[in-house]
Every structure is written in structure tokens, then in C-alpha cells.
């Protein structure tokens, strides 16, 4: 662990970010450039004291989980993230595996989407980020652990309410899209990757998945017109548009209703009430 290099790297990158870059308000007048230490700590979900000690060259060696959180908070590129890991005394993460690290460019767009549902997913369908409207529509999937973080697993393994978000008539189309997307991921990442492990897990659990997997269909399909079912406001028709990272390992999905209709009103209602109980 190179404490001097780590401290200088963190400080420099903290000072290059502005509050608007990470979705924070400017607040009171700032005496120093960039983000405050407590803001970086908040974004990385660590204590301010812990982060301060890292910048002051007196902290313990950060874990890989802490480093991944700092990379996200500081909006580091993949190369910068790898450098951060190395100066902290760890091997850089394998870029070929699906990662919870979110592309800084994609995150900047995501942070500005407040009046429409948006989420960032990995090539495996792992939910990496959701804004408040996406949580209100689908539930909080970022908080899930293990295989439950992956949409294909929730869909085929019978996780409670996984299919309740869509009309039953749409289920076959969604099943085909999930299987063909996972096969594309296995082709890119290999059968011994996380994608291969997910395919093997679902093959052992779901006859529907096995039947579709044997059809050998390979495709990535996100853009679509969907009907999303919400338990309180009912059916909402939305258009799903997608923005990929350059290597297509992550996608930003944006769900927008047609303006001027009832669906837009339902989205606005969700934006006000969020995940609170409508019955209350």
C-alpha cells in the first residue's frame, strides 16, 4: 500500500468534482475547490473520519469493497479505478466480469433524471442503480443480495412478485428477452464466468428457462414499449429507451410515458408519493 500515492490521488480527484457532478446541491459558499471530504464519505457510505484518515496518510488499508465505493463516489474511469486499487495494495478488478462499478459518464446522465423512471443495469441484468421513480415502479432491487440481484433469476426462480410488474400476456416476450440476453453474455464472458454460473443455476431450477435456452437465441433487446403494473395506480404504458456504455457492459434504461395522457399523470403521482402506501 502506497499511502502517499493513495492520499494524493483521492485528494486530487475530490477537488476536480463539483456538487452538481454527483447530484448534490451547491449549498453554502465553498472556500476550497471541489467536493468536501464529508460529501465523498457520504457518497461512499463510509464515515468522514475514515475517509479523512486516508487523505491524511494515516488510515488502515481499505478493503476492495471500500475502494469500489470510493471509485463510484469519485466517478473514476476504469483505468483510474484500477490505479486506485493498485496503490491501495490490491489487484485491479477483472474487467471481463460484470461489476457493480458504474461508468462515470453513464452515472452523470442518470443523476440528472429525476422526473422519469431510470435504472442502470449490467450486461447480466444486475440492477446497479435506481432512481426513486424506478424504485416506486419495481421495488428496490439494488438492495437485493446474491442471485436475487439479477432480473433473470428473479423471473425464472419464482421470486415473489417478480412477474407481477407486467401483464401475463407480456410474460413470454420477457422470458425470451431475458434468456437471449443471458446467452449473449455467456458468449462474451465465457461459461466459467458469472454469466455461465447464472445460466447453470437457472437450468437446474426452471423448465421454462431450459426450454428457451435450448433454442440458442442470442440477442440484446432493451428498447421496447411496455405496460408496467403498479399495485396502487394500475397499468402504466411507457416507452423504454436505452443508452449503452462504449463497451456495452452497462445500460441506462429510461422509462417515459407518452406526454399529455393518463400514464403521465400516474408517473407524476408516483413522483410525489413514491413508495409510500397510497391507501394511507
Whose cell is 463497451? That residue is: 247
Which residues of the chain are under the pLDDT cut of 50?
A: 98, 277-280
As given in the structure block, the three cell numbers for residue 143 are 438492495
Res 274: pLDDT: 62
d(CA 224, CA 226): 6
pTM, two decimals, is 0.64
- Taking each continuous run of H as one helix and of E as one strand, the counts in the chain are 12, 5
Task: Quote the distance between the C-alpha of residue 260 and its chain's center.
Answer: 29
Q: Which helix (H) or strand (E) holds 103?
A: none
d(CA 112, CA 115): 9
C-alpha distances in angstroms, 132 versus 55, 142, 276? 32, 12, 11
Domains, the chain, in order of start with CATH, read 3-87 (1.10.260.40), 104-273 (3.30.450.180)
Nearest to 37 by CA among 27, 47, 28: 47
Contact call for residues 70 and 81 (beta carbons, < 8 A) = no
Q: What is the pLDDT of residues 222-235, one digit of tens each?
A: 667 889 898 888 89
Amino acid at each position: 500500500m502506497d499511502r502517499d500515492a493513495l492520499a494524493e490521488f483521492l485528494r486530487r480527484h475530490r477537488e476536480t468534482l463539483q456538487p452538481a457532478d454527483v447530484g448534490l446541491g451547491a449549498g453554502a459558499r465553498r472556500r476550497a475547490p471541489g467536493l468536501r471530504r464529508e460529501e465523498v464519505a457520504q457518497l461512499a457510505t463510509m464515515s468522514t473520519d475514515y475517509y479523512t484518515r486516508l487523505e491524511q496518510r494515516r488510515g488502515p488499508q481499505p478493503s476492495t469493497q471500500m475502494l469500489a465505493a470510493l471509485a463510484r463516489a469519485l466517478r473514476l474511469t476504469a483505468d483510474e479505478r484500477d490505479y486506485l486499487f493498485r496503490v491501495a495494495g490490491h489487484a485491479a478488478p477483472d474487467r471481463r466480469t460484470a461489476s457493480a462499478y458504474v461508468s462515470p459518464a453513464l452515472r452523470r446522465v442518470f443523476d440528472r433524471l429525476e422526473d422519469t423512471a431510470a435504472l442502470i443495469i449490467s450486461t447480466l441484468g444486475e440492477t446497479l442503480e435506481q432512481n426513486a421513480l424506478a424504485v416506486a415502479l419495481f421495488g428496490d432491487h439494488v438492495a437485493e443480495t446474491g442471485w436475487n440481484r439479477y432480473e433473470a433469476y428473479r423471473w425464472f426462480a419464482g421470486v415473489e412478485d417478480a412477474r407481477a410488474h407486467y401483464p401475463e400476456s407480456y410474460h413470454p416476450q420477457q422470458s425470451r428477452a431475458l434468456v437471449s440476453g443471458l446467452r449473449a453474455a455467456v458468449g462474451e464472458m465465457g461459461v466459467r464466468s458469472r454469466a455461465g454460473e447464472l445460466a447453470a443455476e437457472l437450468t437446474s431450477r426452471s423448465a421454462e428457462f431450459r426450454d428457451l435456452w435450448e433454442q440458442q437465441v442470442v440477442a440484446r433487446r432493451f428498447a421496447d414499449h411496455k405496460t408496467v403494473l403498479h399495485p396502487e395506480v394500475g397499468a402504466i404504458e411507457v416507452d423504454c429507451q436505452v443508452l449503452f456504455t462504449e463497451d456495452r457492459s452497462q445500460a441506462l434504461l429510461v422509462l417515459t410515458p407518452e406526454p399529455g395522457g393518463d400514464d403521465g399523470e400516474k408517473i407524476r403521482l408516483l413522483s410525489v408519493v413514491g413508495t409510500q402506501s397510497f391507501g394511507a
